[in-house]
């Protein structure tokens, strides 16, 4: 039977790729997004977009009352680590209130499945080795803390009301829909790969490398860049688990790449030099964040198909070249 999902933040970067993956397999999708960060054009034909804020609880109730839902996927969020260090209480209040309010509404409307877009920022003090789900939680920022608050609320929703959930902690989401339909367009853009590409295309000033004195082989930070389409696939597989129980998965390729290695990949793929300067460290950046994703691989058979860094960059480059202004105004 055709399944029906409500997706908050479905006009955003990861959310829009998940909507596409669900729609591609024939599910019916309703997106709720305030379009403050999301883009109308990121919601592909076939999905319905409701422009509304999650703080509008009457509207949310009305949407949830519209018939049967097979689940809710929650992406809508303030999501900039650095900004959250400057506006901690805005992040804690807005993200936690939206998330917990949504969980409460799901319980009241008898929704059985919930997927949370969570983050590797929960592991702010991890020591450098691959990070599995049982590594101690110590959010690196108020942004990460706000996601942890929602994860905790989901635990209680399961215990007290039987709402099953998947808590998916992404490492560094990257790349673009290989079919070219969707891409990454944050305003302002703060993420490494789109910034490096725009520096290579001469559309921005030289990239600033935030610190080259970290305890890593080349001195720059190491991250686990995971293709957004592989992340989307993980959501589909995690949803299937929710018939039996709640799950928590760390999502990455298990491969670490330094900032300089990302620059080299962009130079290989784009055939242009990337101008850059070395700048001070960015507050809150851990030296190394790499996922151990054995659990989701073992339990669902998830296998990233786009793990190669050059391939990730190629998909991002292709979208950016075709859409120099992203989704436009
Ligand atoms: N970087 C630079 N220069 C830039 C931008 C980034 O050197 O202009 C570096 C950062 O210092 C970091 C790496 O590139 O070492 C990646 O930075 P991003 O901003 O692209 O990503 P983050 O690792 O900071 O954060 C991302 C998501 C968060 C999520 C986190 C989890 O943006 O939402 O991964 O690991 F919480």
What ligand 1 atom has the least distance to the C-alpha of 210? 7
Q: How confident is the model at residue 329 (pLDDT cuts 50, 70, 90)?
A: low
Say yes or no: 230 and 299 in one domain.
no
In a domain, 71, yes or no: yes
In a domain, 36, yes or no: yes
| The pair of three-digit structure tokens given for residue 14, joined into one six-digit string | 């990861």
Q: What percent of the chain has pLDDT over 70?
A: 100
Which residue lies with its CA nearest to atom 11 of ligand 1? 210
Say yes or no: 99 and 197 in one domain.
no
Say yes or no: 29 and 80 in one domain.
yes
Q: Residue 297 is part of a domain; what is its CATH number?
A: 3.90.25.10
Q: What is the pLDDT of residues 186-199, one digit of tens each?
A: 999 999 999 999 99
Say yes or no: 143 and 276 in one domain.
no
Rounded to the nearest angstrom, the distance between the alpha carbon of 85 and the centre of ligand 1 is 14
Mean pLDDT of the chain: 96
Q: How confident is the model at residue 217 (pLDDT cuts 50, 70, 90)?
A: very high
Whole-number Å distance between alpha carbons of 79 and 13? 11
In a domain, 183, yes or no: no
Whole-number Å distance between alpha carbons of 211 and 257? 15
Say yes or no: 100 and 198 in one domain.
no
Whole-number Å distance between alpha carbons of 75 and 42? 14
Say yes or no: 266 and 286 in one domain.
yes
pLDDT of 228 higher than 80: yes
Say yes or no: 24 and 145 in one domain.
yes
Which residue lies with its CA nearest to atom 33 of ligand 1? 79
Is the CB of 77 inside a 6 Å radius of any atom of ligand 1? Answer: no
Is the CB of 259 inside a 6 Å radius of any atom of ligand 1? Answer: yes
Say yes or no: 219 and 304 in one domain.
yes
Say yes or no: 53 and 169 in one domain.
yes
Peptide bond into 188 cis (omega under 30): yes
In sequence order, the 6+-apart residues with CB closer than 8 A to the CB of 326 are: 39, 183, 185, 187
Is the CB of 87 inside a 6 Å radius of any atom of ligand 1? Answer: no
Residue environment code for 258-286, b if the CB has 16+ CB neighbours within 10 A, otherwise e: bbbbbbbbbeebbeeebebeeeeeeebbb
Q: How confident is the model at residue 266 (pLDDT cuts 50, 70, 90)?
A: very high
As a whole number, mean pLDDT of residues 158-162 equals: 98
Instruction: Check residue 314 and give its pLDDT.
Output: 98
In a domain, 82, yes or no: yes
The larger pLDDT score, comparing residue 53 to residue 286, is at 53
Instruction: Check residue 284 and give its pLDDT.
Output: 78
- Please choose, from the candidates 191, 158, 147, the residue with its C-alpha nearest in 3D space to the C-alpha of residue 172: 191
**Which residue segment(s) compose the domain that 209 sits in?**
192-223+255-322
CB 164 within 8 A of CB 114: yes
In a domain, 282, yes or no: yes
Instruction: Check residue 296 and give its pLDDT.
Output: 98
CB 117 within 8 A of CB 74: yes
In a domain, 182, yes or no: no
Structurally, the chain folds into a number of domains equal to 2
Is the CB of 221 inside a 6 Å radius of any atom of ligand 1? Answer: yes
pTM of the model: 0.97
Catalytic positions, please?
143
């Amino acid at each position: 039977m055709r399944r029906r999902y409500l997706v908050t933040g479905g006009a955003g970067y990861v959310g829009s790729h998940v909507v596409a993956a669900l729609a591609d397999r024939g599910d019916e999708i309703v997106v709720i997004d305030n379009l403050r960060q999301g883009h109308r054009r990121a919601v592909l034909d076939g999905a319905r977009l409701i422009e509304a804020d999650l703080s509008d609880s009457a509207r949310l109730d009305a949407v949830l009352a519209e018939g049967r839902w097979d689940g809710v996927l929650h992406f809508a969020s303030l999501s900039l680590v650095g900004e959250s260090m400057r506006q901690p209480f805005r992040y804690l209040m807005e993200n936690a209130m939206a998330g917990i309010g949504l969980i409460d509404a799901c319980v009241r409307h008898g929704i059985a499945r919930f997927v949370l877009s969570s983050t590797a920022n929960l592991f702010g003090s991890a020591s450098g080795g691959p990070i599995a789900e049982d590594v101690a939680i110590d959010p690196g920022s108020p942004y990460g803390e706000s996601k942890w608050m929602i994860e905790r609320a989901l635990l209680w929703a399961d215990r007290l009301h039987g709402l099953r959930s998947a808590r998916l902690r992404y490492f560094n989401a990257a790349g673009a829909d290989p079919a070219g339909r969707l891409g990454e367009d944050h305003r302002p853009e703060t993420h490494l790969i789109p910034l490096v590409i725009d520096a290579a295309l001469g559309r921005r000033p030289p990239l600033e490398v935030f610190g080259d004195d970290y305890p890593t082989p080349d001195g720059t930070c190491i991250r686990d860049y995971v293709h957004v389409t592989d992340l989307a696939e993980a959501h589909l597989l995690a949803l299937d688990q929710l018939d039996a129980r709640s799950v928590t998965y760390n999502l990455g390729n298990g491969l670490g790449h330094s900032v300089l290695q990302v620059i080299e990949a962009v130079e290989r793929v784009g055939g242009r030099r990337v101008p850059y300067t070395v700048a001070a460290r960015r507050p809150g950046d851990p030296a190394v964040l790499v996922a151990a994703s054995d659990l989701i691989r073992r339990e669902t058979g998830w296998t990233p198909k786009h793990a190669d860094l050059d391939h990730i960059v190629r998909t991002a480059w292709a979208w950016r070249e075709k859409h120099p202004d992203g989704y436009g105004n």
